[in-house]
Amino acid sequence: MRKHLWLAAVPLVLAGAIAACGGDDTTSGNGTNAGADGGGPANDVEPVVVRTIERDGFSNGKLTDKTLDWFVGLSAIVTVDGVTKTIAGTVDRATGVGTIAGVPHVPFVLEMREGGENGAPLVIRRYPSSELRSVRLGPNYWRRGDTVAMTSDTRLALTIDAPQSFNDSSFWWLSPESQFARRMDWVDPTVWTSPNETNVPGKDATSATDWTAGGDALVQPYGADASGLPVAASGDHLFLLQNQWSTFAGPPETSNAWHNAELSSVVGMIAYTDETLANGTVNTLRGTLASPPTEKVSLDFRGSTFAAFRNLAKYPPGAYAAAEIAVTREVGPGPELFAATTIPSWALFSNGEPDGVRYDDPGDLAVTLDLPHLQLPNLREFVNTTYTWGVKVNTRAGEVLYTTASTVMHRKTSTTITSALELGPVQNLTVGDSPLGWDGQGVVQAGDLTVRFDAPALGTPEYYVVKASLLRPRKDYEGDTSYGVAYITTRETSAVIPADVLRPGSMYFVSVAAVRDGSDFAEPTVVKSEDAVSTSIFSPPFVVQ
């Protein structure tokens, strides 16, 4: 199996968390407030109503509440006359609406808490708000509002011809209107087969008959309850896309990282106009995968600009880096972007990681390639460039952990793609009161933890996201070694991480992202710009004691 799998819609939510946005939910959802938008005196109090929203974007634009029941706490943090207090709220599990009573008419910080049960880490999220009395989170999805979620007893099957063979391929079932996405990954059946798969085609096969998958053999990018089954009578389109990995050899003058790169691209597709998927049964797609249309794309990746920043961050010797350039599809009206599909036309990854080797610097790359150009309805094409850097840490217990951060740039697509660092990072990042080193021996005292930094020297961010991550041992090569426990969105150059999310004896690191994406926290959108960028920097790890 290849190391890279399309599991997360990284480019859309640049801050790493759902953005909190104010607005009145009785509007059509594009920026007007119908009344109670604040402005009263500080001693005038009213409830704040908090909702998450799902938008019926492909018919009448209806907004509906989604449950907030994953939160274990909801509150407003307010400061009046120099005194800061926290006002706790409640969540109506039946309606999915949260209410915080008695909030003064002053700007406040919305705090949400989740997890913490059965030994799981407690996670907090904080967002600056305004004096608005109605706060929307999301919207989470952009799709038809009458879809039926696919249950675990539903199975998907393929009886198809694949002229490019099944080797190193993933097969995507995609319906933009119902936001349906499932992925079947091909693995040589002589090596491994999921108990929830049957009739997996063999190596070098170019056809499959009743290759059937269900349960954990299907990847669900939006989660089990977020993808609605497509219905032809409702105008849903359904596509089957074959995404295949190949080796990319960069031009002779490029760095080693690009000579060991990998290209993931759509090599086959079928469009269906009359297919309806039924719940609780086996759904079979048939046909022959045809080559997609292509276009010439000129890439100008200026890796030296990212590497120069990485050096200024004073990361230790052995810090590694990797780059990714991809074209993905996203939905949303006008400049507002609501959800990213996780299906690219193509994606180019530096550092193919042969035998686990990581190169220090994916340098400059200038090349023109013939790449797939998909024509999919209700989806807009965007270029996303990600440059990620990390440091391997050996802990006191001899564990190997990884701290990582990245720059993510999000662009409206063009056949000429130029990528260079243009925002951030923040400067002079400090965590707590004592300097931290890269030897894995850093310690901070239990209690509230203050994070301080200076504004970037390059570019002007609109806000920052301070994130604290719990570090865990890497159990296998694919394993995730960090878990976010605090996400604090702020316009200030400091933030306080609450003591109760930091467990004594555990190891953490802090990252700070400088973000420019058009968000003003007063509109019901996550990203409001077709030209968004986020650049993170991270601290050395530390143990809480």
Q: What gap in Å lies between CA 492 and CA 296, rounded to an integer? A: 43
Across the strands, what pairs with 75?
Answer: 88, 111
- Which residues pair with residue 226 across a beta bridge? none
DSSP run (H or E) holding 258: helix 256-259
Which regions of 89-148 does DSSP assign to beta strands (E)? 90-92, 97-104, 108-115, 122-128, 134-143
- Amino acid (one-letter) located at 58: F
Distance, in Å, from the CA atom of 220 to the CA atom of 218, rounded to the nearest integer, reads: 6
Length of the chain: 545
Residue by residue, DSSP assigns 153-179 as T-EEEEEEE-TT-STTEEEEEEETTTT
Whether the CB-CB separation of 363 and 351 falls below 8 Å is answered with no
Q: What is the mean pLDDT of the chain?
A: 80
In this prediction, residues 370-393 reach a mean pLDDT of 85
Higher pLDDT, 457 or 379: 457
- Distance CA(492)–CA(253), nearest Å, equals 43
pLDDT in tens, 67-97: 566 677 889 999 999 999 999 998 887 777 8
Q: How far apart are CA 532 and CA 303, in angstroms?
A: 19
Selection from 127, 125, 68 nearest residue 485 by Cα: 125
CA 411 from centroid of its chain's CA atoms: 16
Mean pLDDT of 122-147: 74
- At 350-368, the pLDDT tens digits run 874 444 555 567 889 999 9
Range scoring the smallest mean pLDDT among 107-111, 479-483, 492-496: 479-483
The CA-based dihedral angle spanning residues 311, 313, 317, 318, taken in that order and rounded to the nearest 10 degrees: -90
Global confidence as pTM: 0.83
Q: Would the pLDDT of 59 be above 80?
A: no
* 371 confidence band (pLDDT: 50, 70, 90): very high
3-state secondary structure of 412: strand
Better pLDDT: 317 or 68: 317
CA gap 222, 237 in Å, rounded? 18
21-35, 72-86, 485-499: segment of lowest average pLDDT: 21-35
